[in-house]
């Protein structure tokens, strides 16, 4: 991607329109490494989920959905945390790069939340015999999904305007309140949803192979989230660069 | 559908969904790059008449 011409300005010609430094093109080597690391760790997770981890005695093979469902839920939390922090930084610093980052992270987080809802529903159909239950965890996840779909719709309707960015930042901050509620819902309310099974204290509740498969999944999906967010961030950045150039070209 | 069917369906949805999303991002990227190119051409066209005018110092 090349935004501003690198040719020296000729006498009598207008100099290339400068862009803010953060809109200038960046080298992509790091992205290739990130993409390769994400792909390798995903392959390792698939191997761990299907070969390494034992079959659950009660749930059977369908329990293997957990090795993707749980890491995707974690990544959604992470994505919305990034939206929260970037929104605060945008309102504080007034630097559009934070707004672009918040928008990218919200989009990727919404994709993961959608997949969490679908995989959870498929798991629930097998284990509970129903596609959906108005259980605290599931309901707060659905609310989370609606909040960030609303965020993306707001961004879509308001375009790249400053007012739209400010309104979205406020929504990104307020919407994050649902994340801790969603996380703690299994302890605050009586729910059907399984609570934490990964041993965090002395009393181990899950076999080491299950914990390892989950940890691999967490790593793989975190890398995938980072890779996707960088791509969408770049996309939004180019969009903004094109808009900045168009406005300047029309004004000059 | 038996339990394995649900498992396969879940994995297919996750991977097809993520691949589809990546493909959509790639298509949008091509679109905005074409848009950026169009803006650059617009800027170059705008600068063209200036290049032919005599420059006095």
Write out chain A residues lying below 8 Å of B25, CB-based.
Answer: 228, 231-232, 235
Quick check: A246 and B54 CB within 8 A? no
* Structural domains of chain A, count: 1
Write out chain B residues lying below 8 Å of A237, CB-based.
Answer: none
What residue has token string 């808009």? A243
Assigned domain for B14 exists: yes
Domain boundaries, position B36: 10-44
A135 and A191 Cβ atoms separated by less than 8 Å: yes
Between CA A7 and CA A14 the distance in angstroms is 12
Is the C-alpha dihedral spanning A201, A206, A212, A213 positive or negative? negative
**Number of alpha helices (DSSP H) and beta strands (DSSP E) in chain A:** 7, 0
Establish if B50 touches chain A: CB-CB under 8 angstroms: yes
Write out chain B residues lying below 8 Å of A68, CB-based.
Answer: 10-11, 14
What 3-state class would DSSP assign to B27? Answer: helix
What does the pLDDT read at residue A16?
53
A21 and A95 Cβ atoms separated by less than 8 Å: no
pTM: 0.85
Write out chain B residues lying below 8 Å of A38, CB-based.
Answer: none
Element (H or E) spanning A155, and its range?
helix A136-158
Residue B37 scores a pLDDT above 60:
yes
Residue B52 scores a pLDDT above 80:
no
Quick check: B29 and A235 CB within 8 A? yes
Assigned domain for A9 exists: no
DSSP structural state of residue A161: -
- pLDDT by residue, tens only, chain A of 252 residues: 344 443 344 444 444 555 666 566 556 788 889 999 999 999 999 999 999 988 887 888 888 999 999 999 999 999 999 999 999 999 999 888 999 999 999 999 999 999 999 999 999 999 888 999 898 999 999 999 999 999 999 999 988 788 999 999 999 999 999 999 999 988 888 877 877 656 555 555 678 888 899 999 999 999 999 999 999 999 998 888 888 888 877 776
Among B7, B22, B50, beta carbon nearest to A62: B7
Distance from chain centroid for Cα A116: 12
Assigned domain for A16 exists: no
Please name the residues in contact with B35: beta carbons below 8 A apart, sequence gap of 6 or more. Answer: A239, A242
Between CA A114 and CA A100 the distance in angstroms is 22
**Residue A5, Cβ density class (10 Å: 0-12 exposed, 13-18 middle, ≥19 buried):** middle
Assigned domain for A181 exists: yes
Domain boundaries, position A80: 34-194+208-245
Quick check: A72 and B14 CB within 8 A? yes
Assigned domain for A69 exists: yes
Please name the residues in contact with A114: beta carbons below 8 A apart, sequence gap of 6 or more. Answer: A145, B17
Establish if A17 touches chain B: CB-CB under 8 angstroms: yes
Establish if B29 touches chain A: CB-CB under 8 angstroms: yes
Assigned domain for A1 exists: no
Q: Which of A74, A80, A94, A240 is nearest to A171 (CA)?
A: A80
Assigned domain for A65 exists: yes
Assigned domain for A22 exists: no
* Structural domains of chain B, count: 1
Between CA A238 and CA A217 the distance in angstroms is 31
Assigned domain for B28 exists: yes
Between CA A90 and CA A238 the distance in angstroms is 19
CA-based end-to-end distance of chain A = 24
A222 and A34 Cβ atoms separated by less than 8 Å: no
Assigned domain for B57 exists: no
Q: Which of A222, A223, A2, A239 is nearest to A100 (CA)?
A: A239
């Amino acid at each position: 991607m090349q935004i501003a011409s690198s040719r020296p300005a000729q006498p009598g010609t207008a100099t290339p329109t400068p862009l803010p430094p953060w809109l200038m093109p960046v080298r992509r080597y790091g992205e290739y490494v990130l993409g390769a690391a994400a792909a390798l760790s995903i392959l390792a997770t698939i191997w761990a989920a299907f070969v390494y981890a034992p079959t659950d005695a009660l749930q059977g093979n369908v329990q293997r959905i957990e090795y993707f469902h749980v890491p995707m839920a974690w990544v959604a939390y992470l994505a919305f945390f990034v939206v929260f922090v970037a929104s605060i930084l945008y309102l504080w610093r007034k630097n559009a790069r934070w707004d672009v980052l918040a928008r990218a992270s919200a989009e990727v987080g919404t994709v993961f939340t959608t997949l969490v809802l679908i995989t959870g529903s498929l798991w629930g159909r097998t284990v509970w015999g129903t596609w959906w239950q108005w259980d605290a965890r599931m309901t707060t996840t659905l609310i989370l999904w609606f909040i960030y779909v609303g965020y993306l719709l707001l961004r879509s309707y308001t375009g790249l305007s400053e007012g739209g960015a400010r309104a979205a930042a406020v929504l990104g901050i307020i919407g994050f309140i649902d994340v801790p509620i969603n996380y703690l819902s299994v302890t605050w309310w009586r729910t059907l949803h399984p609570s934490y099974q990964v041993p965090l204290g002395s009393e181990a509740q899950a076999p080491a192979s299950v914990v390892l498969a989950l940890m691999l999944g967490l790593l793989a999906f975190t890398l995938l989230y980072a890779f996707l967010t960088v791509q969408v961030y770049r996309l939004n950045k180019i969009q903004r660069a094109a808009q900045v150039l168009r406005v300047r070209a029309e004004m000059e | 559908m038996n339990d394995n069917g649900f498992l396969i369906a879940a994995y297919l949805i996750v991977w097809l969904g993520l691949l589809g999303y990546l493909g959509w991002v790639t298509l949008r990227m091509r679109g905005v790059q074409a848009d950026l190119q169009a803006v650059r051409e617009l800027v170059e066209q705008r600068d063209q008449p200036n290049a032919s005018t005599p420059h006095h110092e």
